[in-house]
Amino acid sequence: MATASVQQLPMPVHGNFHRINSFDFGTSRLANSYSKATLQILFQKNRCRIRCQSTDTEEEPKIKRNILDNASNLLTNLLSGGNLGSMPIAEGAVTDLFDRPLFFSLYDWFLQHGSVYKLAFGPKAFVVVSDPIVARYILRENAFSYDKGVLADILEPIMGKGLIPADLETWKLRRRVIAPGFHTLFLEAMVKIFTDCSDRTITKIDRLLEVEERLGGNTIELDLEAEFSNLALDIIGLGVFNYDFGSVSKESPVIKAVYGTLFEAEHRSTFYIPYWKLPLARWLVPRQRKFQNDLKVINDCLDGLIRNAKDTREETDVEKLQQRDYSNLKDASLLRFLVDMRGADVDDRQLRDDLMTMLIAGHETTAAVLTWAVFLLAQNPEKMRKAQAEIDSVIGRGKTTYECVKNLEYIRLIVVESLRLYPQPPLLIRRSLKSDVLPGGYNGEKDGYAIPAGTDIFISVYNLHRSPYFWDRPNDFEPERFLVQKKSEGIEGWAGFDPSRSPGAMYPNEIIADFAFLPFGGGPRKCVGDQFALMESTVALAMLLQNFDVELKGSPESVELVTGATIHTKNGLWCKLRKRHQ
């Protein structure tokens, strides 16, 4: 199949990849993140201009290579088991990776080299996968031959043995206990938390508008990305461990500490010598002392919550827990469920790791979805009007309920379409535990690609979601696309897009798209909080648009884009807001 032309969506300026060294809660973006740290390894260790030197292009680009480039590429080949057979190579000669976020370059190389290529980056090499057939193989069909690799190394000091970095044995035990916690009644009960927290944001904006009205105006300018970050944090605190950060109205020392630890993890991943392992480093090096202090603040808070939950424990079978009257429970949180579950005794340390993992996994991701949904809608006034018309007919001026979420079909599609265009995270990271043969995918080698044990893999969800082979008009914002069946069009091994494949699903998922759509990953390590996050985003977006008209403050091009675990903006998403109803 010929490469379809890729139309350009009005895209934000590709901002420089920057390190966030200071922490400015509530006003600037909080860079959390695991793949951020991973990407930083690539960026920091190889400050050379990346040129795309294809092994399959006819003309060798004439670029001066310095000794470092040559040495590092040699190392790359040695460390990654040589040439990986016939796999095309996008060779990073690497002198300047700061021009734009990595995943934009990964996209260009995908169009140039195909769905599976090796990216040689100085001393490191990654296999980049942009194909649903190969992604399905790694994530589902042969999932247990891969672990989280570099991601786990970086996250372990913070998340311990939480689900994301956990070793296989721990993961199996904890996944079996945590996944049932996200049952239907729990999710329904969470809608109340979503609406209560969204109400706080609406009230805050209303107050700002009232002040403005007294001054004779009717519009305010606000960084909605920061507001969404606060909102998502409050929701995750209440939903997961019944703790009110109250961050819509104040700063939280606990969450500051969480981000402090993340910055440290990032630092460690980009530093050549692991000096923090030296015997006295944790006491003598100021940033290591701060890291230990931050960990203590978090541990004290979570330990207190765990103690509380254990003191009031009412042990019950899992089935009974799932049938509790959640609408009348004072504490409907996941922690309550995990502590009360019979036969699921774990030490406090494991519970702490579980909570910490969910706090980090569920916060900025959701804030980012909301940010990009507003960004996209603001550029598509017709779709904005359609969304508000649906909200008016389903919710009117009333309260958002679980029933409303079921009827807000267009808002739900907006949420998933935003996740398609701006997946969070844009890359999934894996490492092969043994040698394997990856399928060739749609346009790769028929016999596939042999890879040695220890191969690091990036599954580029961004590339998959914007692949011209699997999506029509891949860069356009079209929430309606998810209602339409798309045949596999002769692509062997791909079942096409068929909404009927997941009957009853409120939101399109990876099954419907046979892994061409992977907003929450797929296979056994798929996100446990997907329905929680989707409903949360639906409620928050609907309530915002129910109450306010929203426009971008500047042009879409002025929104600079930064990546880490999430794709976010460099300086916030500044919007103009006006009341819809007086």
Q: Which residues bind ligand HEM (CB under 6 A)?
A: 163-164, 175, 240, 357-358, 361-362, 365-366, 369, 424, 428, 519-521, 525, 527-529, 532-533
Q: How far is the CB of 69 from ligand HEM (least distance, A)?
A: 31
Closer residue to ligand HEM, CB minimum distance, 98 or 144: 144
- Residues with Cβ < 8 Å from 19, sequence gap 6 or more? 40, 266
The conformation of residue 519, written as its DSSP 8-state character, comes to: B
Considering beta carbons, is residue 31 or 361 the nearer one to ligand HEM? 361
Residue 573: phi and psi, rounded to 5, are -105, 90
* Least spacing, CB of residue 7 vs ligand HEM, in Å: 25
Nearer to ligand HEM, 46 or 455 (CB): 455
Backbone angles phi, psi at 288, to 5 degrees: -75, -35
Q: What is the DSSP string of 17-38?
A: P----S--TTTS-----HHHHH
Which of 114, 523 has the CB closer to ligand HEM? 523
Is position 52 annotated in a ligand binding site?
no
Shortest distance (Å) from residue 362 CB to ligand HEM: 3
Q: Which of 244, 197, 220 is nearest to 370 (CA)?
A: 197
Q: How far is the CB of 470 from ligand HEM (least distance, A)?
A: 18
**Which of residues 69 and 510 has its CB atom nearest to ligand HEM in the complex?**
510
Q: Kind of pairing, strands 52-54 and 89-92? A: antiparallel
574-579 vs 219-223, strand pairing mode: antiparallel
- Of 257 and 567, the one with the shorter C-beta distance to ligand HEM is 567
How many CA atoms, within 13 angstroms, populate the side-chain half-sphere of residue 127? Answer: 34
Choice between 423 and 444, CB closer to ligand HEM? 423
- Give min distance, CB of 566 to ligand HEM, in A: 8
What six digits make up the tokens of 535? 């409903």
Provide, rounded to whole angstroms, the least separation between the CB of residue 565 and ligand HEM: 9
Q: Which is nearer to ligand HEM, 178 or 209 (CB)?
A: 178
Q: CA-to-CA distance for 49 and 179, rounded, in angstroms?
A: 44
In angstroms, the CA 465 to CA 419 distance is 9
Give the amino acid at 205: I
Least distance CB 517 / ligand HEM (angstroms): 11
Distance in Å, CB of 209 to ligand HEM, minimum: 28
Closest residue (Cβ) to ligand HEM?
529
For residue 430, what is the enclosing H or E element? strand 427-432
* HEC string for 232-292: HHHHHHHHHHCCCCCCCCCCCHHHHHHHHHHHHHHHHHHCCCCHHHCCCHHHHCHHHHHHH
Closest CA to 264 of 298, 283, 245, 289: 289
Annotation: binding site: 527
Annotation: binding site for heme: 527
